[in-house]
């Protein structure tokens, strides 16, 4: 065999072997043993690293549960099944989890509302809001520049006609969109609830009417048919999700159609 080939092979093999031995030795003496339960809990989590639990990712949350005693029910995408699996693995009583979904509490799209100025700045809700309080006539409603849609890790939010909407079947309730909205109109609601007041305007009826065809005008019709599940907060009807509301009466009686199924 050509000596150069042999020599090269031996040298590279030698350097490789030396590095491998050095790494093996270093690994033996430097490695930190990790609690094996961390790996098991990690295997029970969905592994999508959405950060909805408040930890830096699924591995960090698994470490939090095992080493720092974090609650096992913080994983929204995993839901009840995941919480139960973790609880039974750790041998503690499972904590009930209610499935939630994010909801944009506004239904005034561009056909129903007016824009009081022509905004053509940065395509970002916070920027639009910072420019003289936003271009939408209603100072409470969705601006529709899609900050929430861009931050959503599962693309559950779409913006159509100047209004963001959450697709309930896709939402994993990670909660990233909630602080992203400069008008704070995205809220968590129970996924089982079907009747919602899609308006956040606390203005009086005539003021709402002026800027939006489908805002809450505080007529109180819905409160009379909702058995206490819809209450007035000033000039805005608010659904109390702790009370059962299955009747679709409020949807029928609302004159501006801001109570909708979602």
Tell me how crowded residue 119 is: count the other CB atoms within 10 A of its CB.
17
Residue 24 makes contact with another protein by CB under 8 A: no
In the complex with another protein, the residue whose CB is nearer, 151 or 238, is 151
Q: Does 8 bind another protein (CB under 8 A)?
A: yes
Count of positions on this chain that bind another protein (CB under 8 A): 20
Binding-site member from 1, 2, 3, 4 for another protein (CB under 8 A): 4
Task: Give the nearest distance from C-beta 64 to another protein in angstroms.
Answer: 14
Segment 27 to 86, residues that bind another protein, using CB under 8 A? 27, 30-32
Residue closer to another protein by CB (options 24, 81) is 24
Task: Choose between 19 and 247: whose C-beta lies nearer to another protein.
Answer: 19
Instruction: Kindly state whether residue 130 participates in binding another protein, applying the rule CB under 8 A.
Output: no
- Residue 12 makes contact with another protein by CB under 8 A: yes
131 interacts with another protein by CB under 8 A:
no
Pick the closest to residue 103 from 30, 156, 160, 38 (CA basis): 156
Nearer to another protein (CB atom), residue 4 or residue 93: 4
The answer to whether residue 127 forms part of the interface with another protein (CB under 8 A) is yes
Interaction residues for another protein, span 96-125 (CB under 8 A): 122-124
Q: Give the nearest distance from C-beta 8 to another protein in angstroms.
A: 6
Residue 150 Cβ vs another protein, minimum distance, rounded to whole Å: 9
Residue whose CB is less far from another protein, 124 or 227: 124
- Token duo for residue 147: 């900050």
Instruction: Give the DSSP letter string of the chain.
Output: --HHHHHHHHHHHHHHHHHHHHHHHHHHHH--PPPHHHHHHHHHS------TTSSSSHHHHHHHHHHH---TT--TTTHHHHHHHHHHHHTSPPPP---EEEEE-----TTTB-BSS---S-S-HHHHHHTTT-SBSSSSS---S-HHHHH-TT--EEEETTEEEE-TTT-----SHHHH-TT--EEEEETT--EEE-----S-HHHHHHHBTTS-----HHHHHTTTSEEEETTEEEE-TTS-----HHHHH-TT--EEE-
Rule CB under 8 A: is residue 155 a binding residue for another protein?
A: no
Query: Cα dihedral sign for 71, 76, 77, 78?
Result: positive
Provide, rounded to whole angstroms, the least separation between the CB of residue 58 and another protein: 14
**Residue 3 interacting with another protein (CB under 8 A):** no
The answer to whether 2 contacts another protein (rule: CB under 8 A) is no
CA gap 217, 224 in Å, rounded? 15
* Contact call for residue 26 and another protein (CB under 8 A): yes
Q: For residue 242, state whether it binds another protein (rule: CB under 8 A).
A: no
Residues of the shown chain interacting with another protein in the complex, contacts defined by CB under 8 A: 4, 7-8, 11-12, 15-16, 19-20, 22-23, 26-27, 30-32, 122-124, 127
């Amino acid at each position: 065999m050509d000596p150069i080939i042999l020599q090269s092979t031996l040298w590279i093999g030698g350097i490789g072997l030396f590095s491998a031995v050095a790494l093996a030795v270093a690994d033996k003496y430097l490695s930190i043993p990790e609690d094996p339960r961390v790996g098991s809990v990690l295997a029970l989590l969905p592994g999508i690293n959405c950060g909805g639990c408040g930890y830096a990712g699924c591995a960090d949350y698994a470490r939090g549960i095992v080493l720092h005693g974090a609650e096992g029910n913080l994983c929204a995408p995993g839901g009840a099944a995941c919480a139960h699996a973790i609880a039974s693995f750790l041998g503690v009583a499972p904590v009930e989890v209610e499935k939630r979904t994010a909801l944009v509490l506004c239904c005034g799209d561009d056909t129903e509302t007016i824009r009081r100025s022509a905004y053509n700045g940065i395509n970002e809700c916070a920027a639009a809001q910072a420019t003289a309080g936003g271009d939408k006539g209603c100072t409470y409603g969705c601006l529709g520049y899609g900050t929430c849609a861009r931050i959503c890790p599962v693309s559950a939010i779409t913006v159509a006609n100047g209004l963001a909407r959450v697709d309930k079947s896709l939402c994993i309730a990670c909660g990233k969109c909630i602080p992203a909205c400069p008008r704070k109109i995205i809220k968590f609601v129970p996924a089982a609830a079907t009747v919602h007041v899609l308006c956040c305007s606390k203005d009086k009826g005539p003021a709402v009417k002026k800027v939006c065809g489908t805002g809450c005008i505080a007529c109180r019709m819905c409160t009379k048919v909702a058995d206490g599940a819809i209450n007035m907060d000033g000039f805005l009807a608010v659904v109390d999700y702790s009370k059962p509301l299955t009747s679709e009466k409020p949807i029928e009686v609302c004159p501006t159609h801001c109570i909708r199924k979602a």
